[in-house]
């Protein structure tokens, strides 16, 4: 590869050393490197000549920040000299020139370490100060032209990501670039100087011990911190140690930079003012050999820049076994392990001086720091490590061909359904058995069945298969046993693993292909094997042949199999790009990408991962079966995404995983652009948590005013609400939705009136709800304990069909200080959306910052995600069918669920009843609103009421007149000669105009029936005998138990609660209609005056009183 490296000025800075090391590593990897620069003295030229093919130097007198125009001139001169012959541009420092270089050379750009202008120090130079303004959107636009943007540290990464996100919000069309971590290495020049054992004699001999501050003489390097810290050190150490101690400041002073010269004068004046002329000495523009002398002989190195992006000086000090004292901000934090191989402390003189005194006093600790510092730098920051990382980055950053950016086509999970051409990579851990003794044939057969179904539905499938290693290992072990002597076979107690994975793969490939052919043949599908090598992908001519071959096979409805000796993750990503696949599906042995290794307790599965914005993850590097690992899969997926192919990483061991992914379900981790709706739902939960805290800070009156405003809006916008609802009703009718559900979702003027009245009731109650003291106890004199009401936090409420639930639930939540996420039925989407806009408008009436307290969750798939967010959501309340509630209870592992699963309500008619009253109550319980959860489903009659058929006939006639279907229970069927049709089950919720009638012997039999077949929702007795009623109310274990009243009274509004968020049939926290009280919890506040438990010991001065003070005025 031909590489043009453009660098403005080689001036003995850390960035210059690192640029040299990167160029040297490229040369070592057999790339042709050409250098273009504005300043390169004899020293630097002597270093570059052995590693560059050609160079150009365009001298320019400039200062940092004034490089824009000179570099453009430099770029044009390089272009006129060499033209567009380069495969890659290596740029550094001046990001503003990137678009110009892209225009001139039309080559991929590798920008080495992006430094935001916000960190450049101001100077007297006007142009530099203009550059130094935080014009992040300009910089972001410029770096968007870079194919790759490695960053020097996580500290730099955060800054770069922040700028990228800001820019993307301003201009969404600009792509976000990912920023992989690329730590520099210990400068090669330092190592070379250290290997030279002859050091020059210094002009001024240094007597005694000294601390070293080593950095360029420039304001951002903050040398004054070293001087101030050294001055404070005098008060922290014995006088004799101080007498022997000095501070040496070593750095390059570039006379052509006026701001650096001025800064040096400032440092000298500071030394004079502190009377430290004999203690603080400056050594300027020293050679590498002289610098080595200082590093070898100092006590410790003071690294003073407060926000350094990395700090090569830190590596230099540690290389020579010197403890480094550095700031707790910036890149050095990623080098130094505090108190183990160096010291991290706030960049203030008092902290630095304290660390310096500890180094002087504790010699044992100092020796330990020296040893550990050497180990750290020689293991992690060598030139070899940099070269390997560079090769890895270039492998995945430089395209096979210079391609235009592809607009990502996957914006939501549902889009996956549109994928036609799919590359499926099957991992070794999916195919192999856990004991490593061959293939998991049952699992493999399931995967092949799913792939066959895709193929038969018109998809084009290419399989990249691992597993040859596992298949071949068994063969190799068998062959090894055959080659052993009898003695060796007897003495061998354990199976020795065959460590050569390539040999295992070569041995197992033919057998694995035979298995695939046999299994696919069961579905009438032919397979073709394609064995690939790296040139088949990287060489343009061979790649065209490969693509042509695969295209032809797919037109013949073949399933193509690709095999390669090596990393199949890389192969799959490159193949998916080469054949222009729509999706890359990677089957692994884990559920997807986690925030940390899955075995860690704090690890969270990511439903969506965007490598451009989410940063790097801590992932594993390999598997025991193959050559890949999650790191390899993630890197390969990111490479494919850069070229327009999204991917999903999921667990191949899960049931129907391929079909579920292709159906758009939330399975595994989708690696795609950041604009997915899946990313939005988590942000909704985060916003609700943050805004909920603002809501809690409001007064009760302010919260009540929100609800009054909402009631006003419901009246003012009645026409708009009914119009949106009419659209939903029409769509539901055309879609064939049942009449019962349409009745639930239809809004009417009368419903809206009831809704407004309920909200006004809630608003009145909200004036005194939160912060109410429900218990006040005097523990002892001066020690008062109070229990007060507080919000639960963030609620997730899921309801079906009824859009009028939305303002009700929102009102209850907001009145009690809770933020709320609402998921309504999709059939009422328009109504719910408009009603939520009214809720948010009412919130903004008090403060625009409260808008995020209420959100509408739009997608059903988002519910599964929200149920995992226990850090944001405190309570889940499902309202709807038994199936819905049971599913939510099953999915919500860590968030409590409040609700009822069914509404199987009973009315027991006792023998001692008033017939007219009984019929009236039953008709109201069933026919008033048959779809409600508090409508009666089973009518239990005392058997004497059937023997005297007068009441039974009256009841059945009235029910039939109201178009109610009657079904008979077993006892009634047996009793009557011509009974109604038998009921399918005694545990059934009809949800419409139908009910079951059953006979019981007495009140106790009725209670037993209710306990067995009921749902603990609402049950009623109709009797004129008070003793019987008392037995019923005492022994029926339901949330609501009524006497001579319709079950339809089981409602928050009718209970005077204003409205209800649901009916709870549980026994903890809230039961029955859940109004405002059920949406609050309590906290205890104890107020004392220096009280301690020790004061209340038997012989102590104080005694417990425990006096109830709530009623005391």
Does 195 reside within a domain?
A: no
Residues 880 and 938 in one domain: no
Mean pLDDT on 118-125: 46
Domain boundary among 674, 709, 740: 674
CATH at residue 686: 3.40.605.10
Does 669 reside within a domain?
A: yes
Does 198 reside within a domain?
A: no
Residues 163 and 216 in one domain: no
Predicted confidence at residue 621, as pLDDT, reads 44
Q: Which of 167-181, 329-343, 410-424, 774-788 has the lowest mean pLDDT?
A: 167-181
Domain boundary among 658, 674, 690: 674
Predicted confidence at residue 145, as pLDDT, reads 81
Task: For residue 402, name the pLDDT band (cuts at 50, 70, 90).
Answer: very low
Residues 469 and 550 in one domain: yes
Mean pLDDT on 1074-1083: 87
Mean pLDDT on 623-641: 68
Distance (Å, whole) CA 341 – CA 458 = 60
Residues 971 and 875 in one domain: no
Mean pLDDT on 512-525: 88
Distance (Å, whole) CA 466 – CA 424 = 11
Does 783 reside within a domain?
A: no
The secondary structure element, H or E, covering residue 638 is: helix 630-642
Average pLDDT in the chain: 83
Residues 721 and 823 in one domain: yes
Residues 223 and 316 in one domain: yes
SS3 for 812-877, per residue?
Answer: HHHHCCCEEEEECCHHHHHHHHHHHHHHHHHHHHHCHHHHHHEEECCCCHHHHHHCCCCCCCCEEE
> Is the model's pTM score more than 0.85?
no
Quick one: which of 284, 1046, 160 has its CA closest to 168? 160
Q: Which of 273-287, 386-400, 568-582 has the lowest mean pLDDT?
A: 386-400
Predicted confidence at residue 902, as pLDDT, reads 77
Predicted confidence at residue 212, as pLDDT, reads 94
Does 898 reside within a domain?
A: no
Q: How many CB atoms lie within 10 A of CB 371?
A: 11
- Label residue 373 exposed, middle or buried (CB < 10 Å: 0-12, 13-18, 19+): buried
Report residue 1008 as tokens. 């037993």
Quick one: which of 589, 585, 561 has its CA closest to 573? 585
Predicted confidence at residue 977, as pLDDT, reads 85
The one-character DSSP state at 338 is: B
Predicted confidence at residue 287, as pLDDT, reads 81
Query: Is residue 11 pLDDT above 80, yes or no?
Result: no
Does 973 reside within a domain?
A: yes
Whether 182 contacts 393, CB under 8 Å = yes
Whether 1064 contacts 1070, CB under 8 Å = yes
Query: Is residue 777 pLDDT above 50, yes or no?
Result: yes
Sign of dihedral through CA atoms 375, 381, 387, 389?
positive
Higher pLDDT, 969 or 329: 969
Task: For residue 1113, name the pLDDT band (cuts at 50, 70, 90).
Answer: very low
Distance (Å, whole) CA 435 – CA 437 = 5
- Which residues have a Cβ under 8 Å from the Cβ of 305 and sit 6 or more positions away? 215, 220, 221, 222, 311, 327, 330
Q: Which of 107-116, 719-728, 976-985 has the lowest mean pLDDT?
A: 107-116
Q: Which of 278-287, 463-472, 650-659, 976-985 has the lowest mean pLDDT?
A: 463-472
Predicted confidence at residue 921, as pLDDT, reads 96
Percent of the chain at pLDDT exceeding 90: 39
CATH at residue 1053: 3.40.309.10
Does 349 reside within a domain?
A: yes
Q: What is the CB-side half-sphere exposure of residue 627 using CA atoms within 13 A?
A: 18
CATH at residue 471: 3.40.1160.10
Predicted confidence at residue 396, as pLDDT, reads 56
Q: Which of 263-272, 566-575, 973-982 has the lowest mean pLDDT?
A: 566-575
Percent of the chain at pLDDT exceeding 70: 84
Taking CA atoms, 1013 is separated from 908, 909, 949, 1066, in Å, by 13, 17, 26, 16
- In the block, residue with structure tokens 């996420």: 821
Residues 626 and 743 in one domain: no
Residues 589 and 692 in one domain: no
Predicted confidence at residue 609, as pLDDT, reads 84
Query: Is residue 624 pLDDT above 50, yes or no?
Result: no
Range of the domain at 10: 2-170
Quick one: which of 589, 684, 702, 593 has its CA closest to 641? 593
Does 1097 reside within a domain?
A: no
Query: Is residue 285 pLDDT above 80, yes or no?
Result: yes
Predicted confidence at residue 493, as pLDDT, reads 52
Q: What would the pLDDT profile of 180-205 be if each residue is shown by its tens digit?
A: 778 888 888 777 766 555 545 555 56
Query: Is residue 519 pLDDT above 60, yes or no?
Result: yes
CATH at residue 253: 3.40.50.2000
Bridge partners for 775 per DSSP: 787
Predicted confidence at residue 932, as pLDDT, reads 84
Residues 301 and 450 in one domain: no
Predicted confidence at residue 61, as pLDDT, reads 56
Q: What would the pLDDT profile of 580-605 be if each residue is shown by its tens digit?
A: 899 999 998 888 888 777 776 667 78
Distance (Å, whole) CA 253 – CA 266 = 13
Number of domains in the chain: 5
Domain boundary among 150, 170, 190: 170
Residues 308 and 214 in one domain: yes
Residues 119 and 38 in one domain: yes
SS3 for 706-731, per residue?
Answer: HHHHHHHHHHHCHHHHHHHHHHHHHH
Higher pLDDT, 835 or 506: 835
Bridge partners for 794 per DSSP: 819
Query: Is residue 1044 pLDDT above 70, yes or no?
Result: yes
Task: For residue 627, name the pLDDT band (cuts at 50, 70, 90).
Answer: very low
Q: Which of 227-236, 463-472, 798-807, 920-929 has the lowest mean pLDDT?
A: 463-472
Terminal alpha carbon distance of the chain: 88
Whether 1082 contacts 773, CB under 8 Å = no
Mean pLDDT on 453-476: 80
Mean pLDDT on 721-725: 94
Query: Is residue 29 pLDDT above 90, yes or no?
Result: no
Predicted confidence at residue 602, as pLDDT, reads 64
Predicted confidence at residue 89, as pLDDT, reads 92
Query: Is residue 118 pLDDT above 50, yes or no?
Result: no
Residues 657 and 688 in one domain: no
Distance (Å, whole) CA 893 – CA 889 = 8
Q: What would the pLDDT profile of 356-384 be if each residue is shown by its tens digit?
A: 999 998 888 888 999 999 888 888 888 88
Predicted confidence at residue 560, as pLDDT, reads 65
Mean pLDDT on 839-861: 90
């Amino acid at each position: 590869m031909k590489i043009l490296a453009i660098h403005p000025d080689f001036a003995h800075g850390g960035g210059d050393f690192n640029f040299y090391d990167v160029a040297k590593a490229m040369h070592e990897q057999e790339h042709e490197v050409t250098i273009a620069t504005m300043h390169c003295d004899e020293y630097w030229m002597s270093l570059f000549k052995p590693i560059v093919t050609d160079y150009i130097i365009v001298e320019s007198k400039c200062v940092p920040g004034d490089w824009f125009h000179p570099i453009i001139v430099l770029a044009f001169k390089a272009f006129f000299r060499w033209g567009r012959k380069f495969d890659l541009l290596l740029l550094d420092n001046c990001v503003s020139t990137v678009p110009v270089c892209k225009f001139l050379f039309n080559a991929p750009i590798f920008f080495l370490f992006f430094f935001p202008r916000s960190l450049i120090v101001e100077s007297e130079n006007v142009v530099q100060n203009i550059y130094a303004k935080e014009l992040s959107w300009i910089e972001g636009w410029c770096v968007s032209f870079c194919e790759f943007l490695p960053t020097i540290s996580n500290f730099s990464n955060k800054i770069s990501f922040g700028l990228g996100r800001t820019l993307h919000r301003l201009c969404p069309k600009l792509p976000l670039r990912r920023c992989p971590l690329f730590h520099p290495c210990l400068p090669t020049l330092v190592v070379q100087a250290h290997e030279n054992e002859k050091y020059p004699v210094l002009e001024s001999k240094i007597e005694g011990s000294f601390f070293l501050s080593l950095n360029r003489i420039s304001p951002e390097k903050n040398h004054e911190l070293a001087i101030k810290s050294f001055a404070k050190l005098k008060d922290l150490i014995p006088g004799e140690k101080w007498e022997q101690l000095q501070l040496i400041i070593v750095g390059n002073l570039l006379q052509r930079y006026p701001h650096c010269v001025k800064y040096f004068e400032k440092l000298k004046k500071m030394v004079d003012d502190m009377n430290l002329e004999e203690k603080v000495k400056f050594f300027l523009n020293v050679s590498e050999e002289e610098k080595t002398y200082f590093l070898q002989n100092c006590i410790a190195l003071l690294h003073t820049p407060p926000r350094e992006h990395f700090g090569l000086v830190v590596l230099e000090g540690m290389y020579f076994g010197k403890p480094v004292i550095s700031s707790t901000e910036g890149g050095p934090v990623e080098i130094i392990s505090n108190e183990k191989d160096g010291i991290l402390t706030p960049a203030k003189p008092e902290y630095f001086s304290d660390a310096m005194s500890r180094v002087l006093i504790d010699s044992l600790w100092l020796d330990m720091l020296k040893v550990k510092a050497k180990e750290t730098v020689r293991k992690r920051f060598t030139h070899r490590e940099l070269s390997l990382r560079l090769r890895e980055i270039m492998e995945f950053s430089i395209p096979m061909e210079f391609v235009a950016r592809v607009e990502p086509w996957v914006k939501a999970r549902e889009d996956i359904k549109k994928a036609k051409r799919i590359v499926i990579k099957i991992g070794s851990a999916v195919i192999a058995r856990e004991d490593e003794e061959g293939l998991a044939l049952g699992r493999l057969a399931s995967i092949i069945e799913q792939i066959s179904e895709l193929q038969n539905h018109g998809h084009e499938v290419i399989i990249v298969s691992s597993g040859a290693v596992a298949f071949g290992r068994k063969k190799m072990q068998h062959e090894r046993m055959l080659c052993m002597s009898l003695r060796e076979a007897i003495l061998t107690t354990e199976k020795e693993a065959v460590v050569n994975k390539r040999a295992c793969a070569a041995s197992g490939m033919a057998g694995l292909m035979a298995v695939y052919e046999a299994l696919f043949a069961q579905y009438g599908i032919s397979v073709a094997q394609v064995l690939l090598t790296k040139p088949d992908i990287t060489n343009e001519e061979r790649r065209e042949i490969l693509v042509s071959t695969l295209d032809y096979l797919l037109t013949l409805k073949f399933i193509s199999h690709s095999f390669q000796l090596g990393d199949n993750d890389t192969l799959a990503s490159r193949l998916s790009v080469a054949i222009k696949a729509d999706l890359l599906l990677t089957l692994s042995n884990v559920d997807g990408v986690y925030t940390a290794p899955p075995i860690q307790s704090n690890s969270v599965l990511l439903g969506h991962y965007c490598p451009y914005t989410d940063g790097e993850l801590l992932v594993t590097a390999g598997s025991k079966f193959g050559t890949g690992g999650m790191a390899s899969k993630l890197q390969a997926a990111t490479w494919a995404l850069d070229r327009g192919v999204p991917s999903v990483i999921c667990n191949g061991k899960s049931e129907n995983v391929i079909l579920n992914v292709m159906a758009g379900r939330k399975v595994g981790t989708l690696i795609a652009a950041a604009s997915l709706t899946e990313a939005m739902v988590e942000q909704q939960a985060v916003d609700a948590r943050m805004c909920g805290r603002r809501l809690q800070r409001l007064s009760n009156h302010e919260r009540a005013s929100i609800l009054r405003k909402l009631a006003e809006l419901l009246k003012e916008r009645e026409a708009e609400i009914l119009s949106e609802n009419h659209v939903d009703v029409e769509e539901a009718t055309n879609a064939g939705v049942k009449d019962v559900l349409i009745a639930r979702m239809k809004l009417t003027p009368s419903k809206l009136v009831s809704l407004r009245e309920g909200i006004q009731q809630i608003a009145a109650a909200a004036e005194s709800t939160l912060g109410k003291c429900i218990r006040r106890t005097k523990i002892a004199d001066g020690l008062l304990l109070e229990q007060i009401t507080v919000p639960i936090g963030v609620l997730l409420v899921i309801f079906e069909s009824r859009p009028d639930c939305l303002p009700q639930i929102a009102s209850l939540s907001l009145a009690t200080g809770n933020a709320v996420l609402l998921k309504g039925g999709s059939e009422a989407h328009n109504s719910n959306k408009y009603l939520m806009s009214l809720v948010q408008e009412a919130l903004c009436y008090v403060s625009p910052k409260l808008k995020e307290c209420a959100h509408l969750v739009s997608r059903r798939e988002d519910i599964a995600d929200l149920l995992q967010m226990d850090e944001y959501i405190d309570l889940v309340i499902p309202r709807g069918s038994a199936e819905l509630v049971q599913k939510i209870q099953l999915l919500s592992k860590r968030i409590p669920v409040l609700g009822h699963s069914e509404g199987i309500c009973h009315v027991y008619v006792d023998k001692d009843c008033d017939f007219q009253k009984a019929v009236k109550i039953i008709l109201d319980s069933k026919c008033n609103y048959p779809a409600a959860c508090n409508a009666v489903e089973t009518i239990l009659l005392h058997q004497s009421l059937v023997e005297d058929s007068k009441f039974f006939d009256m009841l059945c006639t009235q029910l039939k007149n109201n178009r109610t279907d009657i079904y008979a229970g077993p006892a009634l069927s047996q009793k009557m000669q011509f009974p109604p049709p038998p009921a399918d089950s005694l545990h059934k919720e009809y949800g419409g105009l139908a009910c079951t009638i059953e006979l019981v012997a007495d009140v106790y039999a009725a209670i037993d029936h209710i306990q067995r077949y009921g749902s603990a929702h609402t049950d009623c007795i109709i009797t004129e005998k008070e003793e019987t009623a008392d037995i019923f109310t005492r022994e029926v274990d339901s949330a609501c138990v009524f006497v001579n009243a319709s079950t339809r009274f089981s409602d928050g509004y009718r209970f005077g609660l204003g409205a209800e968020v649901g009916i709870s049939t549980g026994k903890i926290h809230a039961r029955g209609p859940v109004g405002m009280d059920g949406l609050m919890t309590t906290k205890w506040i104890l107020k004392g005056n220096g009280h301690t438990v020790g004061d209340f010991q038997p012989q102590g001065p104080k005694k417990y009183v425990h006096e109830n003070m709530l009623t005391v005025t």
